[in-house]
Amino acid sequence: MKHGLILVLLLLAGTVRAEPPVLGWPVDCGVEQGCRPVNYVDHDPSPERRDFGCGRLAMDDHKGVDFALPGIRAMAEGHWVLAAAPGTVRGVRDEVVDAQPFPKGKECGNGVLIDHGDGWTTQYCHLALASLQVRPGQRVKEGEVLGLVGLSGQTEYPHVHFQVAHKGTVVDPFLGEAPSPSTCGIGPKSLWNPALVKALAYQPIQFYRVGFATESPTKAKTRAGDYDTVAPVSTAPLVLWAEVFGLKTGDRLNLRLLGPDGQEWASSDTVMEKSNLTFFAFAGRKSPRPGRHHGLVRVVRAEGGEFETTREIEVK
């Protein structure tokens, strides 16, 4: 009788479902270095978009979380993609050229797939060509280097696309499995390490990049870091620019330049005619006065609420 009871207990133990992985930060730079999630899992099955925070920070049918670097220059400095949890490498790809057209079916670009047991997997996309540090079958620990953040596959800015699945079904790591459809914000079954809650706090508006230029700027040049160091003079234009994520229909994006006397001398005001994952705007004019100038970027939500960030620069 005793041996029969032990056998039953062993069989029951074999059916106990393994706990999902506890996830760490998947890139080697944090929010303080300008690295943060800017594009989340889309929970709206229609052509509309809804992220876990009930905002619009998700591309249509997006299945992962994009952890972005602050620009091309940061990518060139080199930032490692890290395993978010212990597991076994099940697949790698390291053949897609960065910032070039990619073959159909290789939208992920260069990447790594890790098996965490009980059907749980994490996938890491858009790594730099020839940067992968792991091979199939290799055991990895949390925080182990996988490769460098790159621009391979379907991507416009340097980031790692981080995707979680359980038995082939996409799982939003902010919510976990079977979330309540009315949930807004990090859910009680979140897969993230609780120590990361503050760093992962949801911001419905992301001021991805904001700065100054001495010419009419382009989004490509701002992402490339062409204006990371500017030395404006009073004989050249001064332009405030901003790339903002998460704008919704009816939102108002306002850029203002304030001179040394605190008076506004250039501005732009745009009302969103449709929801935009990312939107680029600028405002400026010629012949700024010498002294310290302030740039203010503000988003006013149609349903109420404001978000803003500021920058300042010295004009010689």
pLDDT value for 17: 56
Say yes or no: 60 and 148 in one domain. Answer: yes
pTM for the model stands at 0.90
Say yes or no: 55 and 185 in one domain. Answer: yes
Share above pLDDT 90 across residues of the chain, in percent, rounded to a whole number: 86
| pLDDT at 132 exceeding the cut of 60 | yes
Q: Are 167 and 78 in contact (CB under 8 A)?
A: no
Count: domains in the chain: 2
Which pLDDT tens digit goes with each residue over 99-119?
999 989 999 999 999 999 999
pLDDT value for 114: 98
| pLDDT at 10 exceeding the cut of 70 | no
Choose one of 166, 196, 226: the last residue of a domain: 196
Instruction: Find the length of the chain.
Output: 316
Give the residue from 110, 186, 202, 93 showing the smallest Cα distance to 149.
110
Q: Based on C-alpha coordinates, what's the Rg of the chain?
A: 23
pLDDT value for 14: 44
Say yes or no: 48 and 174 in one domain. Answer: yes
CA distances from 190 to 21, 143, 144, 171, 193 (A): 10, 19, 22, 10, 8
Tokens of 166: 């359980």
Q: Report yes or no on 10 lying in a domain.
A: no
Q: Report yes or no on 1 lying in a domain.
A: no
| pLDDT at 182 exceeding the cut of 90 | no
Of the two residues 257 and 302, the one the predictor is more confident about is 257
| pLDDT at 13 exceeding the cut of 80 | no
Cβ atoms < 10 Å from Cβ of 275: 16
Say yes or no: 103 and 240 in one domain. Answer: no
Give the residue from 200, 149, 151, 155 showing the smallest Cα distance to 174.
200
Say yes or no: 186 and 216 in one domain. Answer: no
Q: Report yes or no on 8 lying in a domain.
A: no
Choose one of 196, 217, 241: the last residue of a domain: 196
CATH number at 266 reads 2.60.40.10
Choose one of 158, 178, 196: the last residue of a domain: 196
Q: Report yes or no on 6 lying in a domain.
A: no
Say yes or no: 167 and 95 in one domain. Answer: yes
Say yes or no: 51 and 182 in one domain. Answer: yes
Structural domain of 29: 20-196
Which pLDDT tens digit goes with each residue over 241-250?
999 999 999 9
Say yes or no: 185 and 225 in one domain. Answer: no
pLDDT value for 276: 87
Which pLDDT tens digit goes with each residue over 58-80?
999 999 999 999 999 999 999 99
Tokens of 128: 């730099």
CA distances from 96 to 114, 133, 269 (A): 19, 16, 40
Give the residue from 71, 67, 80 showing the smallest Cα distance to 40.
67
Q: Report yes or no on 5 lying in a domain.
A: no
pLDDT value for 305: 93
